[in-house]
Amino acid sequence: MAKRFGAWARNKTRAGNGPSQEKEPSRSKLLPRFLAPPSSASTYIEATNKAGNGPLHHAAATGNTKIIDMLVKEGANLEAANRMGERPLHTAAARNSLSAVQLLINQGTKTDCRDGEGKTPLHVAAEYGRSEILQYLLEIKGDMNLQDQRGMSPLHYAVMGSQTVVGILLGAGADPFLRTNDGDTPYDLAIHMGRDAAVRRFHWEDNFMRDNV
């Protein structure tokens, strides 16, 4: 076993993937075997590809909760960041895997962890229109008003994409007056980008209209 997997780092594919990150159907069968030797399991768990993604990122991306659970039990770092600063929770949110998001958080991942651009998983869910994940993150008290390095809140990202998410965030009490580093509120972005549905959604909010008269 040690001979077979001892050269993991030297046997990566052209994409920089190791055995646990390969996309062929047998990867879930290979993973338990490469984790088998307790004395060297951390070597494989912590290995990354060229993008800095490790086995936990890959399991989060594919929504494989069995492998996520196994990796965590073997000591995988829940807050491991790839080269973009993305944690496994960001990856799960982007790939729309609610079960992976729930498991990672139940295992202790920080709800408002940030990537290299200062985005939280709520930013990612809003950006990609992942309404179920966004609702779950709000239910467990994810901060909907945190701003990234550009001053963008989840609501700023939502107006550029899913109007359903705009409604969810406004209904949950997201601040519509937060400004980006360029001075734009989410409403400003909706106007500039011609997002008529988002503009109308803002107009339905009593607090928004009262503060803008």
Going from the N-terminus, what domains does the chain have, and what CATH number goes with each?
A: 1-110 (1.25.40.20), 111-213 (1.25.40.20)
Q: What angle do CA 205, 148, 166 make, to 5 degrees?
A: 25
Cα distance between residue 53 and residue 99, in whole Å? 20
Q: Is the distance from CB of 187 to CB of 200 less than 8 angstroms?
A: no
Cα distance between residue 41 and residue 163, in whole Å? 45
- pLDDT tops 70 at residue 60: yes
More confident residue, 47 or 185: 185
Cα distance between residue 7 and residue 82, in whole Å? 22
Its pTM stands at: 0.79
More confident residue, 42 or 75: 75
Percentage of residues in the chain with pLDDT exceeding 90?
Answer: 66
Cα distance between residue 173 and residue 166, in whole Å? 11
- Average pLDDT of the segment spanning 67-90: 96
